Structure 1
Amino acid sequence: MAHDTTVPTRRLTVGQAIVEFLKVQYVERDGAEELFFGGAFGIFGHGNVAGLGQALLQYQDEFRYFQGRNEQGMVHIATGYAKMKNRLGALAVSTSIGPGATNMVTGAGTATVNHIPVLLFPSDAFATRSTGAVLQQQEHPYAMDVTANDSFRAVSRYFDRINRPEALAPALLEAMRVLTSPADTGAVTIALPQDVQAEAYDFPESLFAKRVWHVARNRADTAALQRAVDVIKAASKPVIIAGGGVVYSEATNALVAFAQKTGIGVGVTQAGKASMPHGHSLALGALGSSGSAYANTRANEADVVIGIGTRYTDFTTASNTMFKNPDVKFVNINVAEIDALKESAIPLVGDARETLTELLELLGDYAVPAAERKSTEAAVAEWRDEIDRIIKVVDGPTLSQAEMIGLVNAAAAKEDVVVAAAGSMPGDLHRLWRPGTPKGYDMEYGNSCMGYEVAGGVGAQIAAPDRRVFVLVGDGSYLMMAQEIMTAVQEHLHMTVVIVDNYGFGSIAALSETLGSQTFGTRFNERGEALRHDGARLEVDFVANAKSYGAEVFSASTAAGLRTTLDDAKAYDGTSVVYVQVDAQGRFGGSGAWWDVPVAEVSTLPSSQQAREVYETNKAAQKLYL
């Protein structure tokens, strides 16, 4: 078909057209405009080396290229970057066909669960099929158009496959629609057949013009706002649950104003941890299964729950046992309708900052009874004292995890960032860490993905080079994915990785005990004489391992030593690693909340039988809020 010769075109390969497009995408919110893409990560193989790889080489002086060590790690880096950018910036990731592509699936799932924009370009089989099955191609006898990349469909907010160059322009525009959407963002996957990547086409010049994507602050429905006002005004013991939406919409000041005027206490989820200043008199702190008894007690008694930017995961709701008041009602503020309607709430579908501001104005002089505010403030003060007690160094033979967290927190400046994921670390950090700013806390707990820590920290540090990132990673997670330390060294990042060695999968060891499974398969021991893993402990030289990546490594075994090594690590002009052993049993617990993890209904093990009895008691307290 002949092209319209009146439309200016530029002859480029598909790979080159992609880079030219990414170079000129901008985002704007509240009048502040910035470049959306900070560059691209890529590991090259036969699927992309001469396609998108060639394009990244050709434009390397105009579009920044980063080299990663592992495809999953590159997606985690992109996720950490976009989180730190408040979802107003993103990275692209290019991989070869086959395992290089499918290595990204876990990272894609992590980004999508957390509503974080990442753009993925996995290479794919030949669109022309002229070669027959290619190296690393999955073949299916029932469909020739199905490839391994179809596995991305389940973990992407948008998926497409470009079998012809003409399809690229609409796909890229759809990708940007999703990436810049406050409600629908997540992983965007565009599969690129390797022959199509290198194919030339006369693309319309307008595709490469500067394009600004305006991020809207949508307002909630007026009638819904009035219904919410009526419910809140009738409340005597309300509580606020602040989630990640508060942080991403930059609504922290609006939240403080709302709490201060109404006197309602604020509990925070993992994603919303830094949405309320730690020192505020109404900051109840961590709420949920990984929260504190102080915040959870307020939620237990609440007659109205105001959820702001939260997804109400099982950790937040304590598997639907948290809200015990039989007459409890919910008001939810969320940009995503699916989350706003959870718990049969009055849904305020809109931007957190704008909706909070409008709701506060409509509430007029409403405030909780003076006695209720005083009770909340007393709980907040008691919890702060409890934190001080928990993290206080007692100079035992081995540091507890809580003591370690307190020492790292003390070493961090107000603007510094802590990054962690999965395991026991997030629970203790959720309760104990005192972030200095709204972007001072990045916990990957939506997908609870072990291995995110180091890579996510690299992304956060690239996005915010003026802030020091502290990565806290347990030995179990470190062994899953530590190699992006080399990327940090390569990029001359001034970040600190703290390796916390508790001799195995410590979080699951503790959970296993409570569920009657006797820490089975959670400690790193040799196979013993009875052919069980109960022999000598496997010793890993984490210091030597971290050094091998080029980082400067420090180690400590005491509180005084950890203080010194943290100072040395901060003073080092580059990527530093601090190794510290902690007491495997020295964790803080006691949230007063349950988490539903099913226990074997029948068993010959007394430990499992006992755990089942406890499970059935807790299960009986579960309720749906219909």
Structure 2
Amino acid sequence: MKATGGAALIAALAAHDVRTVFGIPGTHNLPAFAAMADHGVRVVPTRHEQGAGYAADGYARITGRPSVVLTTTGPGILNAAAAAAQAYSDSVPVLFIAPGMPTTHPPAGDGHLHEVRDQYLAMASVVGHAQRVGTVEEVPVAVAQACAAVTRGRPRPAYLEIPLDLLDRAAEVTIAVAPRSLPDRAAADAVAAAGSVLAAAERPVIIVGGGASAAAQEVRAVAEALGAPVFCTANGKGIVPYGHPLLAGVGVQHPVVAETVGAADCVLALGTELATADWWHGFPRLSGRLIRVDVDPVHRNAPADIALAGDCATVLGDLLPYLNTGPAGGETAQQLRGRHRVESRAEGGPWLAAIESLAAALPQSAVIAGDSAMCCYYGALSNLPSYRPRGFLYPSGGGTLGYGLPAGIGAKLAEPDTPVVVLQGDGGSMFTIAELATAAQLRLPLPVVIVDNGGYGEIRNEMSDRGDPVHAVALDPVDFASLAQSLGCHGRHIDQPTDLGPAVTAALAADRPTVLHLTETPAR
């Protein structure tokens, strides 16, 4: 067909089943926005491009499919760069698209609106795949290549740049569609070797990460065949649901996990980097053998004795016939779970009353969109039950602030009938607080819990622990309930942590977002 670059872009996205785009229209991307209605693509206009990036991240995590961010040039796409870096660190398939300087733009610059010295290079440094097209005809092919890049192998964000003068230029184009990636099978001899080692293991332990989110059934089947206790990382939370007899705990930063993993005669790591961002104190020294199942064939942090590169569900399905039905394993897991609970509750003590009240109010289908906040990584990570994969959205790798609210918006748009709750601190809330207006405009029944400890509590504690002067971490109080009301939301102050659950229940039934502001005493 004959189409402008902007129309070709939207047609190509629609051909890849993209129906929702997050972003903000600007002077340089209007030709793309003009074509959306013709192809059944809706836009979610956030209040800031970083919010668009985090919302797309939440949408992609919930659906397991790529999502799209469309911004304008220069500061528009650079505002989204932090979200791109976060998606990269947590392996989330988000496609970032922006116009770039015209094809005739001089390398030294000429003062063009939104000019950046090298916009492409800036974005290429924080994504897994980047490309800039040179002609209108290239646009559909570039979209197909980018969609393939974010869905094959380890999912990473991608960046596509289209010179702004091509968006209004017309040419004959052919819409190309990337073939859906097929599940990868690990080498048969490696699967057999891993099966032999696991079948002979007397003290196996399983570690489950976010890369196993689409393999929950297979993970449970393998754990039950081995009778092996399971520990889940932050992004693996819910893959083995709370209450399963072999779930030993969520959150691998606790001493009991390091001790158990170190003493195991075989460790089966599924869809996890084994990174310090999860372990906090580093992956423990192993006394047994390590088997890693990951779509990424390059294993960092801990070399595998046996590496099974491929789709987690497919590999575990191939592995299962080699495993004999092992001992029940429930007693060992129960003992570990008891120790893990003691350590988790000690770590999360200041937030337990609020977390337990919240847990009592939530159905098992609920999704928590958390921020990099003390109430999340000390409180909710290990102490809030989760019953479903992708039910705890958390920026573990990048540790970015401001993720929770826009990610919650993306999650609620992806699953409108699912209860979604945002949980974040007062410091991080201010990074993307403007997205309350986005959620209000969308009329989302979204509870936004803000646990207020008067500033950047984690950094305050680190300064104190180092013996440094404690400064620049205390923030003047914000009346978040009133602020929420001014942005079209409901707002409520929560006086007691035990009141949080009933307040969340009411907020889930409201006609718009509700900010629930809980003030706590600054805590260690």
Same-fold call, TM cutoff 0.5: yes
* 3-state SS of 2:379 partner: helix
Match in the other structure for 1:271:
235
8 A Cα contact 1:333 1:355, kept in partner = yes
Of 463, 470, 480, which aligns to 1:542?
A: 480
Shift of 1:190: 1.0
Q: Indicate yes or no: 2:355 matched with 1:405.
A: yes
Inter-partner Cα distance in structure 2 for 1:542 and 1:112: 31
Whole-Å separation in 2 of the counterparts to 1:114 and 1:479: 23
Equivalent pair of 1:282/1:376 in contact (CA under 8 Å):
yes
Give the Å deviation of 1:340. 7.9
Q: Is the aligned partner of 1:53 residue 2:17?
A: no
Relative to 1, partners in 2 of residues 1:566 and 1:320: Cα closer, same or farther, differing over 3 Å?
Answer: closer
Partner of 1:13: 4
Partner of 1:108: 84
Judging changes above 3 Å, is the alpha-carbon distance between structure 1 residues 190 and 279 closer, same or farther for their aligned structure 2 residues?
same
**SS in structure 2 of the partner of residue 455 of structure 1:** helix
Q: Within 5 Å, give how 1:599-614 maps onto structure 2.
A: none
1:280 matches 2:231? no
Q: Deviation digits for residues 517-538 of structure 1, max 9, x if unmatched?
A: 36443222xxxxxxxxxxxxx2
Equivalent residues of 2:208, 2:269 under 8 A apart: yes
Partner amino acid for 1:308?
Answer: L
Secondary structure in structure 2 of the residue aligned to 1:337: coil
Deviations 1:386-420 (A, max 9, x none): 7689989xxxxxxx322112211211111111011
CA distance 1:213–1:466, shift in 2 (3 Å)? farther
CA distance in 1, matches of 2:85, 2:413: 22
Paired residue type of 1:53: F
Counterpart-to-counterpart distance in 2, 1:252 and 1:557 = 39
Distance 1:155 1:212, change over 3 A: closer
Q: 2:47 aligns with which of 57, 66, 69?
A: 69
Alignment of 1:96-495 (within 5 A): 96-129=72-105, 132-139=110-117, 147-181=118-152, 183-204=153-174, 207=175, 211=177, 213-247=179-213, 249=214, 251-289=215-253, 292-320=254-282, 322-323=284-285, 325=286, 327-339=287-299, 342-365=302-325, 367=326, 374-381=331-338, 383-384=340-341, 400-424=350-374, 425-495=376-446
In 2, distance between residues paired with 1:258 and 1:277? 15
Task: Give the superposition deviation at 1:373.
Answer: 5.6
Whether the 8 Å contact between 2:20 and 2:41 is mirrored in structure 1 is: yes
TM-superposed CA distance for 1:322, in Å, is 2.2
Structure 1: state its 5+ residue gaps: 1-9, 26-35, 140-146, 393-399, 525-537, 588-626
Q: Please list every run of at least 4 consecutive aligned residues from structure 1 whose deviation after the TM superposition is greater than 6 angstroms.
A: 385-392
Is there any run of 5+ residues in structure 2 with no aligned partner, and where? none
Deviation at 1:228, TM superposition (A): 1.6
Per-residue CA deviations over 1:513-563 (Å, capped at 9, x if unaligned) read 334436443222xxxxxxxxxxxxx22221222222111112111145334
The aligned amino acid for 2:306 is I
Q: 1:196 to 1:83 in 2, by over 3 A?
A: same
Moved more, 233-242 or 98-107: 233-242
Cα displacement (A) at 1:315:
3.5
Task: Note the C-alpha offset of 1:439.
Answer: 3.0
**Cα-to-partner distance string for 1:412-450 (whole Å, 9 max, x where unaligned):** 111111011213222322210101222321112121111
DSSP 3-state at the match of 2:35: helix
TM-score normalized by structure 2?
Answer: 0.93
Separation (CA, whole Å) in 2 of partners of 1:373 and 1:462: 38
State the distance in 1 between where 2:435 and 2:207 align. Answer: 34
Which region of structure 1 is more displaced relative to structure 2, 96-105 or 555-564?
555-564
Partner of 1:532: none
1:459-608 equivalent positions in 2, closer than 5 A: 459-517=410-468, 519-524=470-475, 538-585=476-523
2:303 is paired with a residue of what secondary structure? helix
The alpha-carbon distance between structure 1 residues 136 and 511, as it changes in their structure 2 partners (threshold 3 A), is: same
Instruction: Measure how far apart 1:77 and its partner are.
Output: 0.6
Distance 1:126 1:479 in 2: 35
The Cα of 1:510 is off from its aligned counterpart by: 2.8
Distance 1:390 1:100 in 2: 40
Give SS of 1:59's match.
helix
Q: Distance in 1 between matches of 2:299 and 2:371?
A: 23
> 1:163: Cα distance to partner?
2.4
8 A Cα contact 1:337 1:349, kept in partner: yes
Q: Relative to structure 1, is the Cα distance of residues 23 and 138 closer, same or farther in structure 2, using a 3 angstrom cutoff?
A: closer
Residue type matched to 1:375 in 2? T
What whole-Å deviation, never above 9, does each CA across 1:466-490 have from its counterpart, x for those lacking one?
Answer: 1011000100100111111111111
Please, which moves more after superposition, 126-135 or 15-24? 126-135
Q: What do residues 233-270 of structure 1 show as CA deviations (whole Å, max 9, x unaligned)?
A: 443322111001111x2x21222222222111101111
Deviation at 1:67, TM superposition (A): 1.0
Q: Is the 8 A contact 1:340 1:347 kept in 2?
A: no
The one-letter code sitting in structure 2 at the alignment partner of 1:120 is F
Aligned residue identity for 2:38: Y
**Number of corresponding residues:** 521
What is the TM-score with the length of structure 1 in the denominator? 0.78
Deviation of 1:179 (Å): 2.5
Q: Find the aligned partners of 2:2 and 2:337 in 1 and give their Cα distance.
A: 63
Check the 8 A contact 1:546/1:553 in 2, yes or no: yes
Distance 1:418 1:317, change over 3 A: closer
